[in-house]
Structure 1
């Protein structure tokens, strides 16, 4: 499968190069500096999204955006405008739907990616309405719950634990009814990495649990744990979470705080099962004590957290991220096997790998790969 194309129209050559580098693992970037050339491409090429600078050669970015909305092929593509300032004219353009988002010139890369991913994610969410009603319901409930948790954690108030339970019940229902492959396929079109990863881990854990005979009530617990395990990332700085490259030592210290932060968010919300909190705090612990945040060893790590660690690692390996392309499912399972023993519980890894092989579920979790 070919990567989708995005149009980047910007006068600044170095900015075009930075954007191409930022998007290299998810999109094929078509970059131009001229407004008329951008319009020619709009009329001849299908794009997934557009990033258009306010200042362009021969034609302004706003004029390009207006013409895009009048085009047939790309009229509904999300457009991000990059401007010196958000003026009343630009605000009007946003209200009219001519552009979807606007960011300031020179915005930090992490903040830019957060806005871009949010914009494209909203487009994916609108497309869910055309899916099978049950599939759309699972995705919509999960997204609303994720947004609710983000708003609650930002405001430092508890979130409604019933929402987390409802996500789990709907997800387990999709697994039991055989709709989970459709859920996972639609999920891969969303651009919020952490949301996609969280729902993927929830599906992986619940599917794995059902295959090894776990009763339905406990499957819901596994799904809750998977969905909530990375809630702490919602309060991490965008510059760290969306950095399109390896984190430095100081940034690693920051990102490792997400496990404890997730535990704090969950503990502040009445009705969250203790097992779910444990997974949030322990999914990065490793058998040999090299994990974080507490360096737990062996039997100090409960069974559900040990299984969740496997699901988390597998999903992270196959995911496309802003700093790496995803591995093929077979390669990810091989790498998972290499971690068995010192880091991950070997018997669980063996059973997990067999289930993923025998059912083909691994390919449902992985995003489509470039041909």
Structure 2
């Protein structure tokens, strides 16, 4: 079997596994280069090897060329749909022409999407990401109403932000706070844990990270007994804190290896970009802009972009920094698997004690330990 030896499927590496099935070696190579920043992948040159390989390592999605020996890509799709272990895999068919015969063939064999060559890398990534997210979002329907609404409302808002920015329009705070209200209510009702699980595998990393930051900020605010309006402000700040990353080139944002000096400068520029945009949104509370501006600052002055230290750091920013660090450590990224919560907290306490507000970190750690204890007690009662 011809399987890419660099990106052999390995669940521990954190990247979803995509099957690339094409008879043409050059086409497989081009597709692999397009996807390597985002996913693991394995390459299969024909129908038989694809079926055998995908049964051994079931992918989250398959890219299937219409030109595939011996019977063609449509034949492979039909075989997948008749195989109980492979039937539910989302499939994108790659075709050389766009005509009624091809479209009908893709539909009739059971393909989920059709891409006609030549297509751009962004079109390919969008098609793959959209199908992966469709499955994740379908699972949200099984959640309780408040959690389901929190996820759907914030995703709808988040997906619309890039359009609003490109049109040069401000984000109205009322829309942000309305989207965050179900999230805050779910947190106040201690009804948010499945919501965090529901978003962790979403293929839009920026949304997943921002949603998790918003949830933990809301939880922190609730535990600090802040008024509900401030909890909504914290959640809103979490949802918007990284919007400047929408301007970061995907090859930098999703680079699987270490960033070089120039790339790091581009990445760190997302803070300035976030603030520059948010300052034009006249009705946004100042606290939201502060969270975006200072969530990478550290109390010892080693953070960025301004190297603020000590009393120059706003309390909201100190909270946001702790939550952002914890969430980044426990996120799945293209360059690392997620770290368990307890290991992340230990790292923050042992290795970052001079960078983070010690009192707030202690409160955050205790909050998560208490929440973990509640989960264990619920499991014991139900056993």
- TM-score w.r.t. structure 2 length? 0.81
Q: Which has the higher contact order (CA 8 A, sep 6+)?
A: 1
> Residue 354 and residue 53 in structure 1: after superposition, are their counterparts in 2 closer, same or farther (change >3 A)?
same
- Between 1:242-251 and 1:11-20, the stretch displaced more is 11-20
1:100 lines up with 2:113 in the alignment: yes
Structure 1 residue corresponding to 2:337, chosen from 313, 321, 325: 325
CA distance in 1, matches of 2:142, 2:80: 24
In structure 1, the partner of 2:229 is: 217
> Residue 101 and residue 244 in structure 1: after superposition, are their counterparts in 2 closer, same or farther (change >3 A)?
farther
Matches within 5 A, 1:1-371: 6-11=18-23, 12=25, 31-39=43-51, 46-65=58-77, 67-69=79-81, 72-81=84-93, 87-88=98-99, 98-100=111-113, 102=115, 113=125, 115-360=127-372
CA distance in 2, matches of 1:149, 1:15: 31
CA distance in 2, matches of 1:105, 1:238: 20
Query: Highest Rg: 1 or 2?
Result: 2
CA distance in 2, matches of 1:10, 1:259: 41
Post-superposition CA distance 1:65-90 (Å, at most 9, x none):
3554565544443223456x664466
Instruction: State the 1:177 CA deviation.
Output: 1.8
> Residue 323 and residue 273 in structure 1: after superposition, are their counterparts in 2 closer, same or farther (change >3 A)?
same
| Runs of at least 5 residues in structure 1 that lack an aligned partner in the other structure | 365-371
CA distance in 1, matches of 2:251, 2:149: 32
Post-superposition CA distance 1:276-331 (Å, at most 9, x none):
01111111112222222222222111000111000000000011100111112111
CA distance in 2, matches of 1:104, 1:252: 34
CA distance in 1, matches of 2:235, 2:374: 17
> Residue 105 and residue 270 in structure 1: after superposition, are their counterparts in 2 closer, same or farther (change >3 A)?
same
Instruction: State the 1:242 CA deviation.
Output: 1.7
- The number of equivalent residue pairs is 359
Instruction: State the 1:44 CA deviation.
Output: 8.0
Post-superposition CA distance 1:328-354 (Å, at most 9, x none):
211111111135443211211122112
- Between 1:310-319 and 1:268-277, the stretch displaced more is 268-277
CA RMSD after TM alignment: 3.4
- Between 1:117-126 and 1:270-279, the stretch displaced more is 117-126
> Residue 158 and residue 346 in structure 1: after superposition, are their counterparts in 2 closer, same or farther (change >3 A)?
same
Instruction: State the 1:115 CA deviation.
Output: 4.9
CA distance in 1, matches of 2:316, 2:354: 18
Instruction: State the 1:91 CA deviation.
Output: 6.3
Q: In the alignment, is the contact (CA less than 8 A) between 1:285 and 1:293 conserved in 2?
A: yes
